[in-house]
């Protein structure tokens, strides 16, 4: 596709999509909600992460669910904005959307607003899948659920989901149900999510990881 605004315009559009995606992803909704309601900052309890799982520990399940939905929305909006920007500057929309979503997951994990701390990136990555390749998400979610149900480790379910997502997308690609951009997105965010679980992996290996139902 020939850039309608020329190479410089296309490059500016891509940079805008990536920066916007990162800044959307970097909004730490767990911290924002804690401050709005005068509750416990999730960075002071549990894993000290800002995502939904640790927000449940800090603020309760209701607020944890709210953070989960808002984090999903970050990936969804980043994908939609990336696609719109890509189309406007004459780039391939799905590739710009994928790049914007990868940036959003990066922002969620390393937020510039809170000293480059953040969450694990799972919900934000899921938001991107909802736009880019929702069928993969429908397949991966039961895999995550099964792992969590059997082991009671939320972290292990997330890690298995991050590893299995690129494999699922690759199969869908072979069936003509996914694109090259989808494969790139699933591989990159899968790697980011696994890396964000490095401390969980260490605890799983040591047998000290917290299970669902364990005392805080």
Q: What is the pLDDT of residue 5?
A: 66
Domain membership of residue 53 (yes or no) is yes
pLDDT at 2: 52
The verdict on residue 29 lying in a domain is yes
Q: Quote the pLDDT of residue 213.
A: 72
pLDDT at 215: 55
In a domain, 214, yes or no: no
The structure tokens listed for 141 are 């979610």
Q: Does the residue 70 lie in any domain?
A: yes
Is pLDDT at 187 greater than 90 in this prediction?
A: yes
Q: How far is CA 119 from CA 25, 86, 96, 139, 169, in A?
A: 10, 28, 24, 23, 24
pLDDT 10s digits, 138-168: 999 999 999 999 999 999 999 999 999 999 9
Domain that holds residue 37: 6-206
Q: For residue 4, what pLDDT is reported?
A: 59
212 assigned to some structural domain: no
Q: How many domains does the chain have?
A: 1
211 assigned to some structural domain: no
pLDDT at 216: 52
**Would residue 189 count as lying in a domain?**
yes
Q: Is the pTM of this model over 0.85?
A: yes
Which positions ≥6 away from 97 have C-beta within 8 Å? Answer: 17, 78, 79, 80, 82, 83, 86, 128, 131, 132, 181
When the pLDDT of each residue in the chain is averaged and rounded to a whole number, the result is: 94
């Amino acid at each position: 596709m020939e850039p309608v605004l020329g190479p410089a315009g296309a490059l500016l559009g891509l940079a805008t999509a990536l920066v916007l995606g990162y800044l959307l992803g970097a909004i730490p909704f767990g911290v924002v909600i804690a401050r709005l309601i005068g509750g416990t900052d999730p960075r002071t309890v549990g894993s000290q992460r800002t995502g939904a799982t640790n927000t449940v520990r800090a603020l309760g399940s209701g607020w944890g669910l709210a953070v989960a939905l808002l984090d999903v929305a970050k990936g969804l909006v980043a994908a939609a904005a990336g696609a719109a920007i890509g189309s406007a500057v004459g780039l391939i929309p799905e590739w710009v959307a994928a790049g914007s979503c990868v940036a959003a997951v990066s922002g969620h994990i390393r937020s510039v607003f809170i000293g480059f701390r953040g969450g694990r990136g799972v919900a934000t990555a899921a938001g991107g899948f909802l736009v880019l390749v929702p069928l993969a998400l429908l397949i991966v979610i039961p895999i995550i659920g099964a792992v969590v149900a059997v082991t009671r480790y939320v972290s292990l379910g997330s890690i298995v989901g991050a590893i299995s997502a690129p494999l699922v997308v690759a199969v869908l690609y072979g069936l003509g149900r996914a694109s090259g951009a989808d494969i790139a997105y699933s591989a990159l965010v899968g790697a980011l999510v696994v890396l964000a679980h490095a401390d969980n992996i260490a605890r799983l290996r040591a047998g000290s990881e917290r299970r669902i139902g364990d005392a805080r």
